[in-house]
Chain A
């Protein structure tokens, strides 16, 4: 295929043309600072409010509880560090899971150095947090539970409503990193008892450099970025007006097309998964078979290494990603794949394909056919495969 097939929508998405169009006037025409008093700034303020309303509606939240940030990572940092600091008189214990994004995990490690205690919950073989273990981990000093809504690598959707109930029953705050889930699956912060939620613009066809943290009213969360009085004095800095407008537009489209997209992506995803599992030997699907993001497929191919696979796919115009160590510059494979119990050598051979609504069945066919050939080629070069075959023939 001549055309690039982009299957890395969990890394980032293409900004929708309608989003870019909505943003453009806020670079040139309505460039004013929303904090200014003159008329030129009025439209900016209005546009920021509108975007906030759209996002709040998508979560069944109050507009005044949505705080814009520079992205998901900042939102996670803010939620965790500010909760730790603001509630340290109540306790010093935080519960999270082993499969969180590094924005949460590394923030937790930082907080441990500052004297906080963190429990990293195990997950089951599908990557689902075990609710009984969560309940057991709760201490009188627990101030926060932070569990992602859906995993970025294996796509597993967590039982966040049940986690929210457990948190509420124990009077503990609940934060969820919904960077992958927001705009892909329904989230209702009231129904799910979510106290804080992180999301990002560029994962749902919005622009990069913009995100938000939802903070339920009544939480005494300190400001994280100090300066001016923007965002109700909780997040200083001149608003990224074009980013906010684009984010709002992207959420508006994402929510109005949610069901239709889910249906289409699930159909394509399941077609892809079924063909791979049926036609490629020694492969497994990582993550839950059904409780997974509509656009996520993640495979582990035995006896081969992920980076080799990615480079060869790229040469055939397929953009994909892997939990392989070599792609991240460290020697350890994905912490998520290790947490669901994969041995190192299998975790090294993972492939993540994350679709979008524009993908077609023909593209999935091309991807499966190409992947099959590459996997066979890499296996023919693999000493692990050689040993495996010789071991088989000796039996």
Chain B
């Protein structure tokens, strides 16, 4: 059901953990849908993401997308991190099953939420960053039978 890369990032997730006194923390998703992602960012004075950690409650794809998202933002500056889309996360994982695409959207949103928190804490405006949604839920059309 999952690609080898997804399985790799699920079974050996990179950057699991917490950062004390993080520059920015973002938590998105809800337990009702079964996915919650939390991303911690450590950003230096130059705006470079020096370190990143995550914790995720969710399925294999949720863990793998969080892990990959942290890999993609690590070492990047804020503007580069902001440009990382859910598609980039999916591509880096060699794709996701269609029902799991929302996990990659959640990962993108978790990064944005952490950046938003950083911006708020430092009273700055990051151009192009909108206030993140606390949740990504796709309304699945109910099938008729």
Which range contains the number of A residues in contact with the other chain?
A: 20 to 34
Interface string of B27-40 (1 = CB under 8 A from A): 10001111111100
Cβ–Cβ contact A330 & B60, under 8 A: no
* A280 interfacial contact with B, CB 8 Å: no
With A383-B27, A383-B38, A384-B36 given, is the CB distance from A324 to B57 under 8 Å? no
- B76 CB to nearest A CB, Å: 23
Cβ–Cβ contact A382 & B60, under 8 A: no
Q: How far is the CA of A110 from the CA of B27 in the complex (A)?
A: 40
- B10 CB to nearest A CB, Å: 7
* A72 interfacial contact with B, CB 8 Å: no
With A311-B10, A324-B34, A331-B33 given, is the CB distance from A303 to B57 under 8 Å? yes
With A305-B62, A325-B34, A326-B34 given, is the CB distance from A383 to B57 under 8 Å? yes
Cβ–Cβ contact B10 & A383, under 8 A: no
* A260 interfacial contact with B, CB 8 Å: no
Interface string of B44-62 (1 = CB under 8 A from A): 0000000000011111111
Which range contains the number of B residues in contact with the other chain?
A: 20 to 34
Closest A residue, CB atoms, query B102: A331
A331: B residues at CB distance < 8 A: 32-34, 137, 140
With A324-B34, A324-B59 given, is the CB distance from A381 to B10 under 8 Å? no
Contact of A333 among B10, B34, B140 (CB under 8 A): B34
Cβ–Cβ contact B37 & A381, under 8 A: no
A312: B residues at CB distance < 8 A: 11
- B12 CB to nearest A CB, Å: 11
B11: A residues at CB distance < 8 A: 312, 315
Cβ–Cβ contact B58 & A305, under 8 A: yes
* B75 interfacial contact with A, CB 8 Å: no
Contact of B31 among A106, A308, A348 (CB under 8 A): A348
* A307 interfacial contact with B, CB 8 Å: yes
Contact of A345 among B10, B27, B31, B145 (CB under 8 A): B31
Closest A residue, CB atoms, query B29: A383
A383: B residues at CB distance < 8 A: 27, 36-38, 55-57
A326: B residues at CB distance < 8 A: 34, 58-61, 99-100
- A375 CB to nearest B CB, Å: 13
Contact of A348 among B18, B34, B63 (CB under 8 A): B34
- B131 CB to nearest A CB, Å: 20
Closest A residue, CB atoms, query B11: A315
- B125 CB to nearest A CB, Å: 27
Interfacial residues of chain B within 81-117, with CB under 8 A of chain A in the complex: 99-100
Cβ–Cβ contact B145 & A110, under 8 A: yes
* B16 interfacial contact with A, CB 8 Å: yes
Contact of B33 among A109, A325, A329, A381 (CB under 8 A): A325
Interfacial residues of chain A within 329-369, with CB under 8 A of chain B in the complex: 329-331, 333, 343-345, 348
A382: B residues at CB distance < 8 A: 55-57
Cβ–Cβ contact A344 & B10, under 8 A: no
Closest B residue, CB atoms, query A109: B145
Cβ–Cβ contact B32 & A345, under 8 A: yes
Cβ–Cβ contact B18 & A305, under 8 A: no
* A259 interfacial contact with B, CB 8 Å: no
Cβ–Cβ contact B55 & A386, under 8 A: yes
Q: How far is the CA of A220 from the CA of B32 in the complex (A)?
A: 45
* A35 interfacial contact with B, CB 8 Å: no
* A171 interfacial contact with B, CB 8 Å: no
- A211 CB to nearest B CB, Å: 20
Cβ–Cβ contact B140 & A330, under 8 A: yes
Interface string of A137-157 (1 = CB under 8 A from B): 000000000000000000000
- B55 CB to nearest A CB, Å: 4
- B31 CB to nearest A CB, Å: 3
* A370 interfacial contact with B, CB 8 Å: no
Interface string of A155-190 (1 = CB under 8 A from B): 000000000000000000000000000000000000
Cβ–Cβ contact A344 & B32, under 8 A: yes
The 9 closest A-B pairs by CB, nearest first: A345-B31, A326-B59, A307-B59, A383-B38, A383-B55, A344-B32, A348-B34, A382-B57, A331-B33
Binding site for B on A (CB under 8 A): 106, 109-110, 303-305, 307-308, 311-312, 315, 324-326, 329-331, 333, 343-345, 348, 380-386
For this complex, 27 residue pairs linking A to B, each with C-beta atoms less than 8 Å apart, are: A303-B57, A304-B57, A305-B35, A305-B59, A305-B62, A307-B59, A308-B10, A308-B58, A308-B59, A311-B60, A315-B11, A325-B33, A326-B34, A326-B60, A330-B140, A331-B34, A331-B137, A333-B34, A345-B31, A345-B57, A381-B55, A381-B63, A383-B27, A383-B36, A383-B38, A386-B18, A386-B38
Q: A311-B10, A326-B99, A386-B18 are in contact. List 16 more A-B contacts (CB 8 A).
A: A305-B34, A305-B58, A307-B60, A308-B59, A311-B2, A311-B60, A326-B34, A326-B60, A330-B140, A344-B32, A348-B31, A380-B16, A383-B27, A384-B36, A384-B57, A386-B55
